[in-house]
């Protein structure tokens, strides 16, 4: 979000500066000659304009955050950050003199879109000013107190199963927290973590791609945290993908390098000569599949998880994209047909039949549960296959005009063009939505965790069903104006239009954010009189 704030430009909207900035009465004369005038506009790029003029010497002792707070309140823009025209972020606790603000200087107010990342049992919210608030199971990253002072000017957050890694915008350095031996402790490689462009995670390790094309890894060595054996090959890396306990990197020359657990695809020596002109890599929990420039596919890792594609290799031509579940790959070909291979326990005898059934169906997208797949086709129809327990059985004549499909571990939810929702699969994992079916109308998007679903309706309200996170009665009155929802394995976190965050589900899995709600409210929009949390607008009773 971008806001333009002009201070000192007459004729727009005059506000008493000393009262608006919270300056004590006895100090009010400091600001008499600097009346801020505020105007607002939105742009596609982040940035707002603050023009400084008429500063007296005494005014230089005021803090940067006083000016920032005034702009945020006037615009209802949420918490942001003031930066100079050259992009240097200003410390809110510093004085104007400390940051050398002078007559005629132009500052920018950056207000980011709130982002939430999740481990298995904790959440981390990246707020508008680049700070981070965490909650949930401490051992899984819910407690960031040890590094809180370092979590400023954060650009993005990556989550493994029990740890988080944050990339700082200033120099691309990295801050980690959570379970130390699962990626939460990066002290051994901290000096190498600069100019980081992206981070990928396995279950218990992280791999950071640097600007110079090198790779730095840390965490559980079994999960790919130790790349020493291939470090000399990790040069000119362009992208990294991860399985459950291994990594695979695509190099600039089109070759690929793998490391980590050999049982999870960490050893690609058997197919190394075939890995030329690699354009993309996807993974199941224990295998990798690489798409080559000629549309062929090379696989390695555990055969039961898709690492052996010999049975379907002749069909794997002109592959456009590959999608995967925990143990099965599905390749979509340029003609819209699909080919599946992988674990027999989840594909079984229907695996080949399913691939044949999808011929000429023009498949656009495939969503996977643990033991089944659901395919969306260009004509709006959909089909499912795999184990009945995993959601592989559905009456196809009901799946029409499908716009989105989401999956829990063993169930699916399909959003149709009229805003209705169809569900199938194991009832305990959200496959049965009969309890809330009448409320599932005008739905815009669906999110899922391991055993529940949450649907956002057109009016910003939320409907939930399933097990952990499927009952949102305790926070239903707060679930208004919701724009996005993030999930951990057993909980949900909803971001509202005003920047507030509402959580529910298993308390130990991140469903209880009461300990940090004060911090989260401080960063929500503050324009006008603010109603008590969770009381805005009408809502339907929770059945």
pLDDT tops 70 at residue 301: yes
pLDDT tops 50 at residue 137: yes
**What average pLDDT score do residues 129-149 get?**
95
| Cα 110-116-122 angle, rounded to 5 deg | 140
pLDDT tops 80 at residue 14: no
**What average pLDDT score do residues 248-267 get?**
97
Report pLDDT digits (tens) over 116-127: 999 999 999 998
In sequence order, what are the residues at sequence separation of 6 or more whose Cβ sits closer than 8 angstroms to the Cβ of residue 261? Answer: 222, 223, 224, 245, 246
**What average pLDDT score do residues 251-273 get?**
97
Q: What is the pLDDT of residue 11?
A: 30
- Within 13 A of 24's CA, how many CA atoms are on the CB side? 3
Residue 400 banded pLDDT, cuts 50, 70, 90: confident
**What average pLDDT score do residues 419-444 get?**
95
Give CA–CA dist 297/318, Å, rounded: 9
pLDDT tops 90 at residue 538: no
Give CA–CA dist 180/194, Å, rounded: 20
Which stretches of 21-79 are DSSP H helices?
A: 64-75
**CB of 118 closer than 8 Å to CB of 133:** no
Instruction: Map out the domains of the chain as residue ranges.
Output: 48-111, 254-360
Report pLDDT digits (tens) over 348-397: 343 433 443 455 467 788 888 887 888 888 888 888 877 777 777 776 56
Retrieve residue 25's tokens: 């009465």
Give CA–CA dist 66/90, Å, rounded: 12
Strands 363-368 and 372-377: antiparallel
Report pLDDT digits (tens) over 457-513: 999 999 999 999 999 999 999 999 999 999 999 999 999 988 899 999 999 999 999
Give CA–CA dist 493/61, Å, rounded: 40
pLDDT tops 70 at residue 142: yes
**What average pLDDT score do residues 171-181 get?**
96
Q: What is the mean pLDDT of the chain?
A: 81
**CB of 502 closer than 8 Å to CB of 484:** no
DSSP class of 29? G
Report pLDDT digits (tens) over 25-68: 332 222 222 333 222 222 222 334 555 554 555 556 677 777 77
Residue 442 CA: distances (Å) to CA of 236, 404, 450, 463, 479: 48, 14, 24, 11, 16
Q: Which fold has domain 48-111?
A: Ubiquitin-like (UB roll) (3.10.20)
How deeply is 360 buried, as exposed, middle or buried, from its count of CB atoms within 10 A (0-12, 13-18, 19+)? exposed
Q: What is the pLDDT of residue 379?
A: 85
Residue 519 banded pLDDT, cuts 50, 70, 90: confident
Q: Three-state SS string across 367-414, please? A: EECCCEEEEEECCCCEEEEECCCCCCCCCHHHCCCEEEEEECCCEEEE
Give CA–CA dist 78/249, Å, rounded: 39
**CB of 131 closer than 8 Å to CB of 124:** no
Q: What distance separates the 2 farthest-apart alpha carbons in the chain?
A: 83
pLDDT tops 50 at residue 530: no
Give CA–CA dist 385/395, Å, rounded: 11
Q: What is the DSSP string of 240-301?
A: EEE-SSEEEEEETTS-EEEEE-GGGT---GGGGGG--SEEEEEE-SSEEEEEETTS-EEEEE
**What average pLDDT score do residues 400-428 get?**
93
Of 327, 273, 325, 261, the residue nearest 298 (C-alpha): 273
**What average pLDDT score do residues 168-178 get?**
94
pLDDT tops 60 at residue 239: yes
């Amino acid at each position: 979000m971008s806001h333009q704030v002009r201070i000192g430009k007459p004729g727009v909207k005059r506000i008493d500066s000393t009262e608006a900035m919270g300056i004590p009465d006895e100090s009010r004369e400091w600001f008499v000659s600097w009346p801020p005038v505020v105007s607002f506009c939105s742009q596609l790029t982040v940035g707002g304009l603050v023009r400084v003029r008429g500063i007296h010497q005494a005014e230089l002792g005021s803090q940067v955050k006083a000016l920032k707070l005034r702009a945020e309140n006037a615009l209802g823009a949420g918490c942001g950050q003031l930066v100079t025209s050259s992009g240097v972020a200003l410390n809110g606790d510093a004085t104007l003199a400390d940051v050398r603000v002078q007559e005629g200087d132009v500052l920018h107010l950056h207000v980011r879109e709130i982002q939430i990342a999740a481990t298995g049992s904790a959440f981390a919210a990246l707020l508008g000013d680049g700070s981070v608030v965490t909650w949930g199971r401490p051992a899984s990253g819910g407690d960031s107190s040890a590094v809180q002072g370092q979590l400023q000017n954060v650009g993005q957050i990556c989550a493994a199963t029990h740890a988080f890694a944050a990339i700082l915008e200033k120099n691309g350095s990295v801050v980690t927290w959570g379970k130390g031996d699962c990626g939460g402790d990066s002290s051994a490689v901290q000096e190498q973590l600069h100019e980081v462009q992206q981070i990928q995670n396995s279950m218990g390790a992280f791999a950071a791609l640097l600007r110079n094309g090198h790779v730095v890894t840390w965490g559980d060595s079994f999960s790919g945290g130790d790349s020493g054996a291939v470090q000399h090959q990790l040069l000119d890396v362009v992208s990294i993908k991860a399985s459950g306990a291994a990594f695979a990197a695509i190099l600039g020359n089109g070759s690929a390098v793998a490391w980590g657990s050999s049982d999870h695809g960490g050893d690609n020596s058997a197919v190394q000569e075939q890995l030329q002109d690699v354009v993309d890599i996807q993974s199941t929990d224990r295998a990798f599949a690489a798409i080559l420039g000629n549309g062929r596919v090379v696989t390695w890792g555990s055969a039961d998880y898709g690492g052996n594609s010999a049975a379907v290799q002749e069909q794997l031509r002109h592959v456009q994209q590959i999608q995967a579940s925990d143990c099965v790959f599905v390749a979509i070909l340029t003609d819209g047909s699909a080919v599946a291979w992988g674990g027999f326990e989840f594909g079984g005898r229907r695996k080949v039949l399913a691939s044949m059934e999808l011929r000429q169906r023009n498949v656009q997208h495939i969503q996977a549960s643990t033991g089944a797949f659901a395919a969306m086709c260009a004509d709006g129809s959909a089909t499912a296959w795999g184990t009945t327990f995993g959601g592989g059985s559905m009456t196809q004549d009901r799946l029409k005009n499908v716009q989105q499909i989401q999956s829990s571990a063993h169930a699916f939810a399909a959003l149709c063009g009229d805003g209705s929702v169809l569900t199938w699969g194991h009832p305990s994992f959200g496959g049965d939505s009969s309890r809330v079916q009448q409320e599932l109308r005008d739905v815009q998007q669906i999110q899922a965790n391991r055993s529940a679903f949450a649907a956002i309706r057109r009016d910003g309200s939320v409907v939930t069903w399933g097990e952990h996170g499927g009952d949102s009665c305790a926070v239903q009155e707060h679930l208004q104006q919701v724009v996005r929802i993030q999930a951990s394995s057993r909980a949900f976190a909803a971001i509202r239009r005003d920047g507030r965050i509402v959580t529910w589900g298993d308390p130990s899995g991140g469903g209880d954010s009461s300990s940090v709600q004060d911090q989260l409210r401080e960063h929500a929009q503050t324009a006008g009189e603010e109603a008590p949390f969770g009381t805005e607008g009408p809502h339907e009773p929770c059945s």
